[in-house]
Amino acid sequence: MNRITERFARLKKDGQKGFIVYIGAGDPNLEATRELALAFDQAGVDVLELGVPFSDPLADGLVNQLAAQRGLESGTTPVKVMETVAAIRKKSQIPIVFYIYFNLMHRHGLEKFINDAAKAGVDGFLTLDLPPEESDNYEALMAKAGLAVIYLVAPTTPDERIELIVKRGTGFIYYVSREGVTGMQQKVADTIGEMTAKIRAHTDLPIAVGFGISNPEQARTVAASAEAIVVGSAIVNQIAQHGKSSDLVPKVIEFTSSLIKATKR
């Protein structure tokens, strides 16, 4: 069974909420990414999203754009990210998702990229700029490789399109709780409960809510309406602050643990 599906099945059985972390791969370098992944697993993170650095990350706010830039500057390529996943797999079975822009896969060769990622130990892709309407070949190749196809639903997605998107997704549905790009927010959106109910009307897949969660109180609030929460920019910001420090990993884990605790109470 796919590790993502397996993890959500276990969470449901245990009556627990999932905690998903997003970080930019190669920020500040790929060895730090490997060490952080292993530490996240130990700390209780359920799924790790690795942003594969891209020069034009349109869906990302400033914090994650800068992380992508640092990743590119450290020499990170999609192939090197796969090698890092293979290194993580020697010690950890944490479910791993590639957060990626389609151009990177297209340039590598779509089928080869998917198969190479599966071989390395990746469990699913969240492809930011590939709509389901154009995804037939991609979905077929992903299914053949045993990888989850994770789609985004936004607050502005019309009901009939929600139905189309969620019927084609696997693993989990990522509900983007705000319009616009990624980034930390002062408060969470007040439409999360209403929107997750709309999504649930069309699917049994777990719903993960992200974009903007940056403190334990927000984590607790959002977890009440979803099967999982996603925290990205707030953790990436910690990496930016402590990236040059020898205690990068403990500092990031200390911050992340407070959010995990709030989510899983």
DSSP string, 35-96: HHHHHHHHHT--EEEEEPP-S--TT--HHHHHHHHHHHHTT--HHHHHHHHHHHHTT----E
- Segments making up each domain of the chain, as ranges: 3-263
Q: How is domain 3-263 classified at the CATH fold level? A: TIM Barrel (3.20.20)
The pLDDT assigned to 241 comes to 96
Q: Which residues are within 8 A (CB) of 242 and not within 5 positions of it... i.e. 6 or more apart?
A: 248, 251, 252
Which listed residue (27, 46, 60, 123) is catalytic?
A: 60
> Is residue 35 annotated as part of the catalytic site, yes or no?
no
Known catalytic residue at 49: yes
- Tens of pLDDT, residue by residue over 126-182, are 999 999 999 999 999 999 999 999 999 999 999 999 999 999 999 999 999 865 445
Candidates 27, 46, 49, 227; catalytic one: 49
pLDDT for 177:
83
Q: What is the pLDDT of residue 30?
A: 98
DSSP class of 151: -
In the structure encoding, which two tokens stand for residue 253, read together?
A: 């884990």
Question: Which residue ranges of the chain lie beneath pLDDT 50?
Answer: 180-181, 183-184
